[in-house]
């Protein structure tokens, strides 16, 4: 868990800022996916209970990051 002080330090440090611009997060960037646990849980549930799930949203909202860091890890932990 990231504390507020750690978050502030990372936010001010351009090398570790959690908002990396247009580059999607990748596996291993788990600590940078902040505040998306509810989205991860909901999306994993949808993938596990439906044959087809469509993830859509405006450019830059974090779709690829949610998939690359959140969903891949969540499904790997479930044996996929």
Closest CA to 77 of 48, 54, 53: 48
What's the length of the chain? 80
Please report the pLDDT score of residue 76 as a whole number: 86
CA 47 to chain centre: 15
Note the pTM of the prediction, 2 decimals. 0.59
pLDDT digits (tens, 9 = 90+) for 11-69: 666 565 555 566 667 777 766 677 788 888 898 899 989 999 999 988 878 888 888 88
The DSSP output letter for 15 is T
Please report the pLDDT score of residue 53 as a whole number: 92
Closest CA to 60 of 19, 18, 6, 13: 19
Please report the pLDDT score of residue 28 as a whole number: 72
- Rounding to the nearest 10 degrees, give the CA dihedral for residues 17, 62, 4, 13: 0
Please report the pLDDT score of residue 52 as a whole number: 95
């Amino acid at each position: 868990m990231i504390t507020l002080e750690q978050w502030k330090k990372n936010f001010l440090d351009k090398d570790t800022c959690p908002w990396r611009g247009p580059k999607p997060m990748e596996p291993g960037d788990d600590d940078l996916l902040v505040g998306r646990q509810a989205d991860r849980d909901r999306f994993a549930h949808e993938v596990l209970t439906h044959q087809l799930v469509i993830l859509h949203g405006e450019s830059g909202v974090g779709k690829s990051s949610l998939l690359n860091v959140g969903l891949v890890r969540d499904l790997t932990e479930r044996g996929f």
